[in-house]
Amino acid sequence: MEVKMTVNRQHQLYRAVEQSIACAQPLRSAHFLLAVSGGVDSMALLTILKQLSSDCGFRLTAVHLDHMYRGDAALADAHLVKDYCRQLKVDCHCYRRPIARLAAARKAGFEVTARRLRYQLFRALKLAIGADYIVTAHHCDDLAESVLLHLLRGSGLDGLVGIRPRDGDLLRPLLAVDKATILEFSEAFAVPYNEDLSNRDETFLRNKIRNQLMPLLIGDYNRAIVAQLAQLAEIARLESDYLATDTGLFFEQVVRQTATTNIDRAAYCAAPAARRRRLIRHLYQLLLGTTRNLTYRHIEILDDWLLMGAINSRQQLLGLNFFIDRKSVVLTLGEVDAGNRLAVSLQRGDNALVDYELNIFIGDYAPDRERAALAVLALPASMSGCELVVRSRQPGDFMRPKGLNGSKKTLKKLFNEQGVAIAERGRIALLTSGSEVLWGASLRPSIHCRRQPLSAAACYIYIADGQF
**What is the pTM (predicted TM-score) of this model?**
0.67
Distance CA 285, CA 149 (A): 22
Helix (H), strand (E), coil (C) string for 179-197: HHHHHHHHHHCCCCCCCCH
Mean pLDDT by groups of 10 residues along the chain of 468 residues: 72 89 78 94 95 91 88 87 95 89 81 86 93 94 93 88 92 94 93 82 82 92 93 95 95 89 94 95 90 85 87 82 87 61 82 82 86 87 84 90 90 87 80 93 88 73 76
Residue type, 310: A
Terminal-to-terminal C-alpha distance of the chain: 78
Distance of alpha carbon 36 from alpha carbon 93, whole angstroms: 10
- Check residue 467 and give its pLDDT: 55
Q: Report pLDDT for 140.
A: 95
Q: CA nearest 365: which of 230, 461, 465, 265?
A: 461
Distance CA 320, CA 292 (A): 13
Instruction: Kindly report, residue by residue over 428-462, the tens digit of the pLDDT.
Output: 899 999 999 999 988 999 999 886 676 767 788 99
Reported as type and span, the H/E element at residue 359 is: strand 358-363
- C-alpha 128/C-alpha 382 separation (Å) is 70
Q: Within a 10 A sphere around the Cβ of 199, how many other Cβ atoms?
A: 13
For the CA atoms of 212, 218, 224, 229, what is the dihedral angle to 10 degrees?
-30
Q: What is the CA radius of gyration of the chain?
A: 32
Residue 165: phi and psi, rounded to 5, are -65, -30
Domains detected in the chain: 7-234 (3.40.50.620), 258-333 (3.30.465.60), 344-465 (no CATH)
**227 near 214, Cβ under 8 Å?**
no
- Nearest to residue 33, comparing CAs of 140, 141, 124? 124
Question: Is residue 306 within 8 Å of residue 269, measured between CB atoms?
Answer: yes
Q: How many helices (H) and strands (E) does the chain have?
A: 16, 21
pLDDT at 246 (0 to 100): 96
Look at residues 381, 379, 400 and name the one whose alpha carbon lies nearest to residue 463: 379
